[in-house]
Structure 1
Amino acid sequence: MFDTRPDREAEVVLVGRSNVGKSTLMRELTGHTKFDTGGKPGVTRKPNHYDWTAEDFVITDLPGFGFMSGVDEEVREEIKTNIVRYLETYAENVLVAILVVDGKSAVDIIDRHSGPDEIPYDVEMYYFLEDLGIPTVVAVNKMDKVDDRDERLDEICDRLGLYPPWKQWQDVIAPITAKNGRIGPLNEAVRTHLHEERRDDLFKFF
Structure 2
Amino acid sequence: MFENRPDRSDEVVLVGRSNVGKSTLMREITGHKVPTGQKPGVTREPNHFDWASEDFMVTDLPGFGYMQGVEEGHEEAIKTEVVQYVEEYAENVMVGVLVLDGKAAVDIIDRHSGDDEIPHVVELYYLLEELGIQPVVAVNKMDKVPDRDERLNDIADRLGLYPPWKQWRDVIAPITAKKGKIGPFEDAMKSHLEAAKRDDLKKFFA
1:114 aligns with 2:119: no
- Supply the distance in 2 between the matched residues of 1:189 and 1:147 (Cα, whole angstroms): 23
Matches for 1:57-68 after TM superposition, within 5 Å: 57-68=56-67
1:198 maps to what in 2? 197
Query: How far off its partner does 1:197 sit?
Result: 1.1
The superposition leaves residues 13-57 of structure 1 with CA deviations (integer Å, 9 ceiling, x where unpaired) of 000000000000100110001x11111111100000000000000
1:17 maps to what in 2? 17
The superposition leaves residues 80-134 of structure 1 with CA deviations (integer Å, 9 ceiling, x where unpaired) of 1111111111100001011000000000000001011211111010001111110
Query: How far off its partner does 1:71 sit?
Result: 1.3
Matches for 1:89-108 after TM superposition, within 5 Å: 89-108=88-107
- Supply the distance in 2 between the matched residues of 1:107 and 1:5 (Cα, whole angstroms): 33
Query: Structure 1 stretches of 5 or more lacking a match?
Result: none
Query: How far off its partner does 1:70 sit?
Result: 2.4
Query: How far off its partner does 1:69 sit?
Result: 2.6
Kindly tell me the number of residue pairs found equivalent between the two proteins: 205
Query: Structure 2 stretches of 5 or more lacking a match?
Result: none
1:138 maps to what in 2? 137
2:42 maps to what in 1? 43
- Supply the distance in 2 between the matched residues of 1:190 and 1:67 (Cα, whole angstroms): 29
- Supply the distance in 2 between the matched residues of 1:118 and 1:66 (Cα, whole angstroms): 15
What letter is aligned with 2:63? G
3-state DSSP of counterpart to 1:98:
strand
What letter is aligned with 2:105? A
Give the 4+ runs in structure 1 shifted more than 4 A: none
User: TM-score, with normalisation over the residues of structure 1?
Assistant: 0.98
2:81 maps to what in 1? 82
- Supply the distance in 2 between the matched residues of 1:69 and 1:155 (Cα, whole angstroms): 29
Query: How far off its partner does 1:202 sit?
Result: 0.1
